[in-house]
């Protein structure tokens, strides 16, 4: 069984967009995220991107376009010395009430089955409480919120009291320093 570092995409690796990431032109990679992924690339962790993409379920872009964006993002990360070992996407709109949309743990459970991951010793890093709730629901021991993206606002929400204790860092790079 492998350990995994689960990463949310928007707000952790790339900037959030108010009107969604709909094409590669909308992608702004955080420079510190590239450094973080390069730094941890030789670790024991499988690096797995888990991302809600309701932009598909809302009919703004196709799942094929989301996959193209994710493939190009993984290639850029690779070019800078990092790696992505798997990408798992929830394409559903929130009202579809699926099991894969975070805060539900479906994406993490699917990744664990596909990639032989030991969830109990894995880590999730997200910019939203829903990311951490998905991780905790899947049995991850360590959950981390970063202040990039929506994280600074999410860290102050009263809903955080329903979660088990979690760590907070300014950026993905800062979080990686704690993990490695």
- Known catalytic residues are 8, 10
Q: Residue 9 contacts by C-beta under 8 Å, 6 or more apart in sequence?
A: 49, 50, 51, 70, 73
Structure tokens at 177: 């320093």
> For residues 10 and 157, what is the distance between their CA atoms, to the nearest angstrom?
19
- DSSP strands (E only) in 62-170: 86-90, 123-126, 142-146, 167-169
């Amino acid at each position: 069984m492998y350990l995994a570092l689960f990463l949310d995409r928007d707000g952790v690796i790339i900037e959030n967009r108010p009107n969604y990431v709909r094409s590669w032109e909308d992608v702004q990679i955080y420079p510190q995220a590239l450094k973080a992924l390069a730094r941890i690339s030789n670790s024991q962790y499988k690096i797995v991107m888990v991302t809600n993409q309701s932009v598909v379920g809302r009919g703004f872009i196709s799942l094929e376009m989301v996959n193209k964006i994710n493939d190009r993002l993984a290639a850029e990360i690779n070019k800078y010395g990092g790696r992505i070992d798997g990408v798992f996407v929830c394409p559903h709109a929130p009202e579809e009430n699926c099991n894969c949309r975070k805060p539900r743990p479906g994406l993490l459970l699917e990744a664990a089955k596909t990639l032989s991951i030991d969830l109990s010793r894995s880590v999730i890093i997200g910019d939203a409480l829903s990311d951490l709730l998905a991780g905790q629901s899947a049995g991850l021991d360590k959950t981390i919120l970063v202040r990039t993206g929506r994280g600074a606002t999410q860290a102050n929400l009263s809903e955080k009291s329903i979660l088990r204790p979690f760590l907070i860092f300014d950026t993905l790079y800062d979080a990686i320093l704690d993990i490695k």
